[in-house]
Amino acid sequence: MLTVTFFLHMVGTAALGFYLILPFVVGGIQKLSLAAQEGAVNTVRVANRFAQYGLVLQLLTGGYMMSQGDYSVPWMIIVTLLLLAMFAIGGIMSKPLKSALAGIREKKEVKEETSKLGTLSALLALLLLVMIFFMVYSHII
């Protein structure tokens, strides 16, 4: 059972890989034409939803593996808080994504929304990198 759970956990990790490239994608959106901006923002919105499902998979499989393993309490608290922060920021991103999409369709300037998206995507990438660090070096704490 643990092998299947670990496999599913790695599938969830692959889904979260989107958050590592997201700052670069969002950073280039303003340089695109309006039609391309609409497509890019819509793609980011769909991929963010997919990554949110990956987070749910991480929560379920990681929780199960934590219950079966011997991990320190501080480590479990840190990774749980990191996961919850990723859930929150990924969810917060949905509003600027919807606003940017609506603004692009109305041919309005969406610099404010893309600025918010840039900040949130950088935070998500940073949180994911910190999470990976703690997963690889779980013995430190």
- Does pLDDT of 140 surpass 90? no
Residue 1 confidence (pLDDT): 85
- Does some domain include residue 141? no
pLDDT-derived band at 49, boundaries 50, 70, 90: very high
Query: Is 40 within a domain?
Result: yes
> Is 17 a member of any domain?
yes
Q: Give the structural domain span for 75.
A: 2-136
Q: Is residue 132 part of a domain?
A: yes
Q: How many domains does the chain have?
A: 1
pLDDT digit string, tens, across residues 56-94: 999 999 999 999 988 999 999 999 999 999 999 999 999
Tokens 């940073």 — which residue?
A: 126
Total-model pTM: 0.91
Q: Write the pLDDT tens digit of every residue in 28-43.
A: 998 988 899 999 999 9
Smallest CA-to-CA distance from 86 within 24, 40, 18 is with 18
Q: How far are the Cα atoms of 13, 14, 57, 60, 67 from residue 8, in angstroms, in the given order?
A: 9, 10, 7, 10, 16
Q: Does residue 94 belong to any structural domain of this protein?
A: yes
